Amino acid sequence: MFDILPIEGGLDNVEGFFSGGVSAGLKSGGKKDVAFIRSDTLCDVGAVFTSNKFQAAPIRHFKRYGEIFQTNFVLINSKNANAMTGEKGVEDIDEIFSHLPRFLNAKNPVMSSTGVIGYRLDTKKIAASFELFDFNAKDSNAAAEAIMTTDRFKKEIAVRVDVEGKGSFHAAAVCKGAGMINPALATMLCFIATDANVPKESITTLLKDAMEESFNAISVDGDTSTNDTVMLLSSAKSGVWDMEAFKEALKFITKHLALQIVKDGEGSKKVVAFEVKSALTLDEAKKAAKALSNSLLVKTALFGEDPNWGRIASTIGSCGVACEEDKLSIYYDDTLVYSPEKKQLDKAGEAAANQVMKKNSFKIICDLGLGDADFTAYGCDLGHEYVSINADYRS
Amino acid sequence: MFDILPIEGGLDNVEGFFSGGVSAGLKSGGKKDVAFIRSDTLCDVGAVFTSNKFQAAPIRHFKRYGEIFQTNFVLINSKNANAMTGEKGVEDIDEIFSHLPRFLNAKNPVMSSTGVIGYRLDTKKIAASFELFDFNAKDSNAAAEAIMTTDRFKKEIAVRVDVEGKGSFHAAAVCKGAGMINPALATMLCFIATDANVPKESITTLLKDAMEESFNAISVDGDTSTNDTVMLLSSAKSGVWDMEAFKEALKFITKHLALQIVKDGEGSKKVVAFEVKSALTLDEAKKAAKALSNSLLVKTALFGEDPNWGRIASTIGSCGVACEEDKLSIYYDDTLVYSPEKKQLDKAGEAAANQVMKKNSFKIICDLGLGDADFTAYGCDLGHEYVSINADYRS
């Protein structure tokens, strides 16, 4: 038996973790652009990275430490992705970390970057941020701010988990990402810290499992940016371990942050859950749900609040999953808009569906009527702001 | 030896073919919305249809005639796709054609539709168009206009092919489609007429072959609308047959029309050829070229004329083809923007790439440096007008 209690704030809630963010002059206008997360003890660390074949330099730098290692320091910069920078990009990270010992006794420091692809890091500016950091700060709010790119709001979350008969542990995270939905490829970074006594050999597996219904439900596998990273740091300080409780806590955190990313979809106003039901297999349910959340025509219809369910049907029909016209039904929340018996939406049905679409958040349910596999993907609308944001992202 | 000579106009150039278009009141404002194409002799007919699992009623009606049949009459309507209308949708076509004998001696009449999904056809209005048609008209311009939906301009083409020692034949086509690029799913219809003496058993194969580098290069296989149709009618009237000449003529016609569709991409201002070179296999070259032409981030960068080649690289890396960071090079026309040796774009390079992007039409070349397979896909930019057009398509 356990309870998961959301609490205010972010990483600051986890004992022994410190974080902060400063402006190193990478972004214009004195905006924060470099963040750190450190622990006062060594942490086991697990990470899941992008499946993009061109993995950014910080990912290759991380992997140099091998499969299982410990660290107490994470450095993160925005504005520059340090991707497509070759071996020089990795050397630049070494160069930056060569300045760290003057400030901090860091072991196996790791880095994450997000921003524009194809430019070398300004190692001097970033190393100069070590002078600016208060390494004893508990200011994850500033860290969350410094890692933002096109994000409209900061993303952090913390929970306390009370496990009956064992005690309590904490878990918390900061995250960045917006417009993550494929085919947008915008980078998503997430750093989770916990004082739970996570067995080090399980850390990456636990992370992968938690991602399936959270971050992986908002993007299509394989179509990810050069930098995507989800990292879990475990200090074990609480001494408490309960597999089920920790799994649920991770799920809670990652699902919350994934929905925050969708909500922050560039220029988007709506979060829509695409529930595909009764597919033949789980893979097909996922494929269909993600196809819906990615369809440009579906996304623009959401923006226009137009209950044009034909685009839903057409996307289902074209995405390569088993489906039959006379077994399919489509709902907008509780409003049935298509079933084999009800071939045509009447005025009242149209009005009801339109009412649903005016909400900031609703479900589009596609029951394929074939099997018993269900999957929900999350998407957002696509409007003019998306175009404006992405037409000239670098300037 | 043969010559392909583009000539003015459309289907009217092919002897024995008649066509026209009228307003049956499906579209508002008296716009043309129903078209016919007929031949004064029976034609062999071949067609390639959408791979969408929910094939529209007119496609299922067509297939009822079996694999090989002859027809002399095609009816096409816009505004309503007659898709997701079940068996009733096919019966509606029978009902419409039941009125035809009063006007014309048609054998195996076939139909195509494009427009909104999920509504029954207004069979009365469409059948009433038979009263309005001049069945002896040679007015393919009106037919091309009547089949438009979000198209900004009519699409037709005609060629005369002179074959040394054999004589001449004609081939011509009308077509509709805009914003066809996946994941847009907008319907694409194309009707090709010829008086070449095409062997009836080859007609569909010839059509499929011609599509590979034309219509299939502007959309992703499998992600097509409920109604996509490319149809070839052959009257054999010229008595002339030359396989190579006909293949080239078909390729010329379909490539021209495919590029017209890209040019007419909803709200688009640029046509871009994405040339993927030196891929390991042709399939991988296709996959990468199409991924580029479909990437939202690439399309918005084209709109913004921002030489953000990192999005090109990231898309290549995530689309599932073999690629290596230190073998890739990227060009905008002749301007090299990335190579392993040249890691970072300087100001002059940036300016040169930006100049290329200001053109209405240019190439983005990705040389993977791995094998010898090349493929070119065609795409367009995505701007605010796309959103406006698709936010409320039905109204």
Note the pLDDT tens digit of each residue in B342-391. 756 778 888 999 999 999 899 999 999 999 999 999 988 877 777 777 77
Q: How far is CA B94 from CA A83, A91, B91, B109, B117, in A?
A: 59, 72, 5, 9, 19
**What pLDDT shows up at residue A342?**
72
- CB-CB: which of A54, A116, A186 is closest to B325? A54
Q: Are B269 and B381 in contact (CB under 8 A)?
A: yes
ipTM of this predicted structure: 0.84
* pLDDT average, residue stretch B206-225: 83
CA distance B292 to chain A (A): 10
DSSP state of B216: G
pLDDT tens-place string over residues B13-52: 999 999 999 999 999 999 999 999 999 999 999 999 998 9
| Mean pLDDT of the A51-77 span | 96
Name the average pLDDT for chain A. Answer: 92
Q: Does residue A101 surpass a pLDDT of 60?
A: yes
| Residue of B60, B312, B387, B394 for testing the chain A interface, max A β-carbons within 10 Å | B387
pLDDT at B368: 98
Which residues, numbered 58 to 117 in chain A, qualify as contacts with chain B under a Cβ-Cβ cut-off of 8 Å? 81, 83-86, 88, 116-117
pLDDT band at B183 (very low <50, low <70, confident <90, very high): very low
- Residue owning tokens 């079996």: B66
Burial of B266 (0-12, 13-18, 19+ CB in 10 A): buried
Percent of chain A with pLDDT over 70: 95
Judge if B2-263 and B271-391 fold alike in CATH terms. Answer: no
ω into residue B183 within 30 of 0, thus cis? yes
Whether the per-residue pLDDT at B216 is higher than 90: the answer is no
Distance CA A262, CA A215 (A): 10
Give the start-to-end residue ranges of the domains of chain A. 2-263, 271-391
Residue given tokens 């790439």 in the structure block: B353
Segment B321-329 shows an average pLDDT of 95
Contacts of B117 in chain A (CB under 8 A): 308-311, 313-314
- Residue owning tokens 């390639």: B48
Percent of chain B exceeding pLDDT 90 equals: 74
The DSSP element (H or E) to which A354 belongs, if any, is helix A347-357
Q: What is the pLDDT of residue A172?
A: 98
Provide DSSP, B33-78.
-EEEEEEEEEEEEEEEE---SS--HHHHHHHTT-SS-EEEEEEEE-
Least confident of B37-51, B114-128, B293-307, B370-384: B293-307
Is A68 a residue whose pLDDT tops 60? yes
- Find the residue in A nearest to B179 (Cα): A297
d(CA A186, CA B296): 11
Chain-chain contact of B390 with A340 (C-beta, under 8 angstroms):
no
**Mean pLDDT (chain B, rounded):** 92
Distant-in-sequence, close-in-space partners of A118: CB < 8 Å, separation ≥ 6: A83, A84, A85, B309, B310, B313, B338, B343, B344, B345
Contact B106, B72 (CB under 8 A): yes
Choice between B100 and A268, residue whose per-residue pLDDT is larger: B100
The answer to whether A26 and A33 are in contact (CB under 8 A) is yes
Q: Which of A218, A261, A185 is nearest to B299 (CA)?
A: A185
pLDDT (tens digit per residue) in A233-250: 999 999 999 999 999 999
- The three-state secondary structure class of A258 is helix
pTM: 0.87
Q: What's the confidence (pLDDT) of residue A278? A: 98
- At A307, the pLDDT band (50, 70, 90 cuts) reads confident
- Whether residue B391 and residue A300 make contact (CB cut-off 8 A), yes or no, is yes
Other CB atoms closer than 10 Å to residue B263's CB: what's the count?
Answer: 19
- Cα–Cα distance, B379 to B376 (Å, whole number): 10
Q: Is B280 exposed, middle or buried (0-12, 13-18, 19+ CB in 10 A)?
A: middle
Tokens representing residue B122 in the block: 């207004």
Q: Which CATH superfamily is domain B2-263 in?
A: L-amino peptidase D-ALA esterase/amidase (3.60.70.12)
Determine how β-strand A17-22 pairs with β-strand A34-49.
antiparallel
In the set B187, B226, B229, B335, the catalytic residue is B187
pLDDT band of A383, cuts 50, 70, 90: confident
Q: Could you tell me which CATH class the domain A271-391 is placed in?
A: alpha beta
B369 interface with A at CB cutoff 8 Å: no
Structure tokens at A373: 């596999």
Residue A86 has pLDDT above 50, yes or no: yes
What was the pLDDT predicted at A183?
43
Q: Does A325 touch chain B (CB under 8 A)?
A: yes
**A226 catalytic residue (yes or no):** no
- Mean pLDDT for B157-184 is 87
Pick the residue of A49, A51, A54 with the most B CBs within 10 A to test the interface with B by mutation.
Answer: A54
**B137 exposure class (CB count in 10 Å sphere: 0-12, 13-18, 19+):** middle
Q: Are A111 and A96 in contact (CB under 8 A)?
A: yes
Please identify which residue in the block is written with the tokens 């067995």: A199
Rounded distance, CA A336 to CA A331, Å? 4
Q: Name the strand (E) or helix (H) holding B86.
A: helix B86-97
Does B340 sit behind a cis peptide bond, omega within 30 degrees of 0 on the bond before it? no
Hey, is the C-beta of A54 within 8 angstroms of any chain B C-beta?
Answer: yes
How far the first Cα of chain A sits from its last, in Å, is 52
